[in-house]
Each structure stands twice: as C-alpha cells, then as structure tokens.
Amino acid sequence: MPLWSLSRLWGKVNQLDLPVFMQIPVFQIYIWAFGCNIEEAEEEDLKTYQNLGEFFRRTLKLQVLPIDNIHLLTSPSDGTITHFGQVENGVVKQVKGVNFSVEGFIGPFSWKFPISSLSSSSSSLSSSSSQSSSPDSSSMSSSSSLSSSLREDINNSHNNVNAYIDQNQKILSQLIHPDNVLYHCTIYLAPRDYHRFHSPTDWIVYFRRHFPGELLSVHLGIARWIIGLFNLNECAMYVGLWKHGFFSMTAVGATNIGSIHIYNDHELATSTWKKPDGNNTDQYLPNEQSPGIQVGKVDLFGEFNLGSAIVLIFEAPENFTFSMEPGQRIKYGGAVGT
C-alpha cells in the first residue's frame, strides 16, 4: 500500500473511539512504548481520551510550560533539535551529512509583502512580554491590530523589501537584506511529544504554500538515508515578516500523520485521499485583498497527529546567536536564539 494511503488510513484509525475497557490499557502501552510524560498533560485521566487522536493532541498544564521571555526566538514545539545554523550555498542541513535545497523546499518566491499597508495600522497588539508568555493565547488575528512597536520594527528594516523582491525572483538566499544572514532550524517531533505547535516569535503571516507531496517517515534514522526528504514530503509553509525580516515556519508531514491542522486556516486540506499531483497551492492570508495575520509569540498555531517536523527559515543579523545544541531535547517556548 502506498505510504500516502497508509497515512490517511492511519488518520482514520486515530479517530476511532476505543471501547471503554480498552482505553486505559491501550494508552498505558503507548505511554510505556514511547516514554510519554502523562504528568505534563492537562488531563491525566486516560479515560477522558476517546481515541488515539485525542491523546496525540493532548493539552499541557500551564505550570509545566516555562516560556522564555529573554530570547527573541523560541521553540514552536516539543521535540529534538536535529540541526540549525546559517544557510550556506542555498542548502539546509537535514541531519548531519545530509542536506536539502532551500529553493526546492520553499519553491518560487512569488509572494509580496504589502509593507506600505502596515503604516496605516493604529491598533495595539498584545505582544508584550507579559502577554506573549501566556500559553493559552488565542491563535492568529488580523494584522490591523498590529502593535506600534512591531510595526516600527518591520518598517525600519523593510522599507524597500517589495522592490528588492520584484527585482529578484530567485533563490531565497538572494532575497535577504545585505546586512542580514539566512538561518534555519529543524525540530523533530517524536510520538512521545506534545503535538500542538505554537508561534516561535511575534510576526505577521502573509502567505501559505501547501505542497501535497509524499508522507515518508521523518525519523532521524530515515532522514540520514533519504537526501532531500523534506523536499519530498507533504508540508504546509507559512511565510511572513518578523523583526529582522523574512520569516517562515513549515510543518512537515510524515508517515502515519492523519493531517496537519492549522488553526484559523480552514481552507488548508492535508492528507486527503486524492493522490498528490506534485503541484503546490498558494494562498494569501486571510485573503489577497487584505493579507496579513498577526501572530504573537507562543500563540497556538496548529497541531499534528503522531510525529513530524517543523522547519524554521528566517533572516537575522550576522550576530544572531542560537541558544541550543544539535540533538538537544527542547520544550515549546524554550530558548532558540536572539
């Protein structure tokens, strides 16, 4: 059976309610097999989870979610840091010794950022350190509610970004500002991990690109053997601007993933039964006439079923410093860099 069919079938199985007498034994076996920490879950009573899908998407207790308020960039999810660093020669390290192409991963740089529209925004954004540290923040909201501080940061760094993009419809590494560097960070979510993911910083999302793709395993052992794995898999990429310029967060699908679900992007349909044709679909958010959705640091963004990966590709100054190590386990809201 093709992996894309197997994945969709598994997604259906995940949603089948378990008989009451099976709930506790099944979840106990799963917890034991994958090393889940059920004590972190908001609901520790296994009888409250009707199916595997509900257990994968379990919420966490607020008190076990220490959010880093010092670093500009935090982890969007629980998981393992597989690799991070500068993008060199247009390639990103998938795992040690295996790379993938930024151009192949992101696709054509066809979107535009309507920077001029930001100067007219006057409302405030709840992105102060005290508010952004709340794990139960709502997800995306319209960019019309942009804070003056974030608007000023973006305007100061991007007055000429549209002209720059229009003149350079090429690889992403050629589109960053001359004084900045392009960086990447990849986080692998294992079956034991909390499977909701959050915004890693304050930014404005303008565009979504969905690649239907395959659904190959993104387990570290597999990633070492398949070159360009992330270029092959289904993924949903969200593109926008943050304090230092271009910012993207991509949710990468994998075998046994029922779907990638993004809050407040109801038009995104992943892991459908239709065999992927290889063509990506593009969408301005919330629409082409009025693009721009403000997302605050640690706001809920989306969720996976079972394991997968998140890839961040962004520009920042040359002195941007990562605050972690390859192979490190990290919790959502943990320090990534500044």
Give first-to-last CA distance, the chain, whole Å: 45
Q: Beta strands of the chain (E only): which ranges?
A: 73-74, 79-86, 91-95, 98-101, 141-142, 180-189, 196-198, 203-211, 235-242, 245-252, 260-262, 281-284, 293-295, 300-304, 308-317, 329-330, 335-337
What is the DSSP pairing of strand 73-74 with strand 98-101?
unpaired
83 is catalytic: no
Q: What is the three-class DSSP state of 40? A: helix
Q: At 123, list the tokens.
A: 């409302």
Backbone φ/ψ region at 245: left (φ over 0), alpha (ψ -120 to 50), beta? left
Q: Whose CA is closest to 235, among 214, 220, 219? A: 214
Degrees, nearest 5: CA angle 86-88-93: 75
User: Active site residue: 71, 198, 244, 261, which one?
Assistant: 198
Asked if 5 and 257 count as a contact pair (C-beta separation under 8 A), the reply is no
Q: What is the three-class DSSP state of 24? A: helix
Q: At 211, list the tokens.
A: 């690649």
User: Active site residue: 68, 78, 202, 265, which one?
Assistant: 78
Q: What is the three-class DSSP state of 328? A: coil
Q: Whose CA is closest to 332, among 139, 202, 197, 138? A: 197
Asked if 161 and 184 count as a contact pair (C-beta separation under 8 A), the reply is no
Q: Annotated catalytic sites, by residue?
A: 78, 198, 308
